[in-house]
A and B are shown apart, each in its own frame.
Chain A
Amino acid sequence: MIELKGVTKRYGARVSVDNVSFTVDKGAFCAIVGSSGSGKSTTLRMINRLIEPSAGTITLDGADVASMPVESLRRRIGYAIQSVGLFPHWTIADNIATVPRLLHWPEERVRSRVDELLGLLQLDAASVRGKYPHQLSGGQQQRVGVARALAADPEVLLMDEPFGALDPITRATLRGELARIHIATAKTILFVTHDIDEALELADKIAILRDGKLVQFGAPVELLTKPANDFVRDFMGGGALGLKLLTLTRVGDRLKPEPAAGEPIAAATNLADALSQMVLRRTERLPVRDAAGKPVGSIGLSDLVA
């Protein structure tokens, strides 16, 4: 659990982060969202003390981070950034092994952990292990960056726009992987992004920052249905708010037993995509199948709004 209480960062007269408080539960995925200069990265970097707050406290599992030795605090927290920052003179295996080696893990355990993580990030361990960062594509480098952040099995993962520099397709793939990793590892993740769709897809809590102030903090549905002010409403998508809301629910949750014709869609599809299919196929009802491909019912246009 991470708790921020009245956290403030001042640079001279300029207030970069202003009295921000929120709590992220253990195992939660929290997105910190805002436009550039909103203080979102600064907020994140105060958690592992890359930046020291001017006021306020941050606690990790009840202990004030300011009271912990800074290096051992950081070794407990995974850290991945947009520019990845792999060490160019180290192999991929050595890069991933950075924190385990700092913690003096036995070499055998380090090796098996590296292979395990390469597998988790869907990289071919045998071919990638001995390569150097510049031999990998941008997407692969970022996978290695995430693997390195997870290496010593930290309780918390801090990610600063980790997919910001990638092309949309790679980005979408890695987003999916991160969601899968979050479920598989149950890490507490704090994720900085300026992309509200990324936040809606991944996060179960979203903090919206503006000019260093926390404007609203809550679950995605809350932000979409009860935006605190016009800024949040506009930020969440303005007129497309309803469509965004549809992305939060899956077809499987609105099933009807009625039959329907045509190619079935997966139960895991979100309602926005189902609506898109209805429009494309010019039909008001679509058949639905489960993960195994078995027909489980159908969804109708009116079910979307129910």
Chain B
Amino acid sequence: MSIVPRQRVLFVLAAVAIMCCAGGGFVDAAPNRLVSGMPLALWHSAGALALWLALGGVALVALSFTRSTRASHLAALGLAVALLLVLLLAAGGSAARLMAAATPATRVSLGWAFWTAAFCLAMIAIDALQRLGASNPARLAVVVAIVAAIAGMAAAGRFDALSLAREYAARRSEFGAELARHCVLVAASVAIALAIGAPLGIFVARRPLTAPSIFGTLNLLQTIPSVALFGLLIAPLSALGIGGIGAAPAIIALVLYALLPIVRNTEAGIAGVDPAAIDAARGMGLTGGQILWRIELPLGMPVFIAGLRIVTVQAIGLTVVAALIGAGGLGSFVFQGIGQYAIDLVLLGAIPTILLALAADFVLALLAAFFERKAES
């Protein structure tokens, strides 16, 4: 131990989490779902679990005074993950305790202290994984373990009293349908963007003179705000008889946004291939198609996947806005929630969107790492 913390990141994150939970509103209790609630601190609502959380927090701070070693990072990772789960249990427990003594219209939602502490704990875990130099399978295992634990707790009804869960319970069938619709919109737009963008990227790589005009156009599209683009598409599409609202304009707009990263990364992937390899391939009698499929695309794959990753995450987010023009998806909860001033309904749309984006990003990062290894090894 020393007087100053040796692991400053850990110290700051743990201290922020503790200070928020000590003073801030851990949960908010409101008499109904439309008015804002009364903030309640952790030690007011969570009972014995608050003590465990406090102990864990102190342990994390203590850890930040030790030397940065593998053992200390492992301990930080384990503590942060455990505390995150206890934090969730404490939130669910607080809500159950408060609901037991209140009318059914009462809503208990998560307060800012909860969100801040959860964020800090997640950052501590991510930081520890980074410092441990964890491999991709190890990261995947940690994520799967956390998700499984949370799913288990949810299935056991630990969160049922929270207003978010109650919003979900009230819209269970709708939620499944909108989630599926969200995924379909994203998948369809990314697939169409790939079908158009990849050949266009190859074309630009073959004819560099066309690059300024094509990239210029796609760049321009990218600068149009998404709400405006959705709006702008209504009139022309109605005139064509496709319908200015619904899935069609949403997919068209999402495709337009997805084109720039896909075209640019396809072009960059191909342009990055060693010209000597191409010259040798031509000299040995590979046809243009063989060079593309066997040499250029495999070697450009990591860059290409990076573009796909940007586009998928971007499309998952933008699809929320597409709910404005009646395309459906998780955005419909967000906009209903905004309309009703029901923050928990907004979260019911926003949180799954964020999780979906994180999951897509993670899976595509693994894929990129796989191709990276193949291209380099």
Chain A interface residues (CB < 8 Å from chain B): 48, 50, 70-75, 79, 81, 83-89, 98-99, 102, 132, 134, 145, 148-149, 158
Contacts and interface: CB of A to CB of B under 8 A. Distances in A.
A278 to B, nearest CB: 45
A79 B284 contact: yes
Which 3 residue pairs across A and B have the least CB separation, nearest first? A85-B280, A74-B285, A79-B283
A99 B284 contact: yes
B279 A81 contact: yes
10 contacts: A48-B283, A50-B279, A50-B283, A72-B285, A84-B276, A87-B281, A87-B299, A88-B375, A88-B376, A148-B284
Contact of B280 (A75, A84, A132): A84
B286 A71 contact: yes
B22 interface: no
B276 A85 contact: yes
Interface in B333-377: 374-377
Nearest to B295: A87
Interface of B: 274, 276-287, 290, 294-295, 298-299, 374-377
A89 B298 CA distance: 8
B281 A85 contact: yes
A85 B277 contact: yes
A87 B277 CA distance: 6
Nearest to A69: B285
Nearest to A83: B276
Contacts of B281: 85, 87, 98
Contacts, number: 68
Contacts of B277: 85-88
Given A132-B377, A134-B376, A86 B285 contact: no
A134 B274 CA distance: 13
Contacts of B280: 79, 81, 84-87, 145, 148
Nearest to B294: A87
A99 B377 CA distance: 22
B287 to A, nearest CB: 6
Contacts of A84: 276, 280
- Between A74, A75, A99, A134, the greatest number of chain B beta carbons within 10 A of the residue's beta carbon is seen for A74
Contacts of A74: 282-285
- Between B277, B285, B286, the greatest number of chain A beta carbons within 10 A of the residue's beta carbon is seen for B285
A89 B285 contact: no
B374 A98 contact: no
B284 A88 contact: no
A102 B283 CA distance: 13
B375 A75 contact: no
Contacts of B294: 87
Contacts of B283: 48, 50, 74, 79, 81, 158
Given A84-B276, A87-B280, A102-B286, 17 more contacts: A48-B283, A50-B282, A75-B284, A75-B285, A85-B276, A85-B277, A85-B278, A85-B280, A86-B277, A87-B277, A87-B281, A88-B274, A89-B375, A98-B286, A99-B284, A102-B290, A158-B283
Contacts of A48: 283
A73 B285 contact: yes
A71 B287 CA distance: 7
- Between A74, A75, A81, A85, the greatest number of chain B beta carbons within 10 A of the residue's beta carbon is seen for A85
Contacts of B298: 89
A86 B274 CA distance: 9
A87 B377 CA distance: 11
A99 B294 CA distance: 13
A179 B314 CA distance: 59
Contacts of A148: 280, 284
- Between B281, B282, B283, B374, the greatest number of chain A beta carbons within 10 A of the residue's beta carbon is seen for B283
A257 to B, nearest CB: 52
A98 B284 contact: yes
A281 to B, nearest CB: 46
A150 B375 CA distance: 25
B144 to A, nearest CB: 30
B285 to A, nearest CB: 3
A164 to B, nearest CB: 12
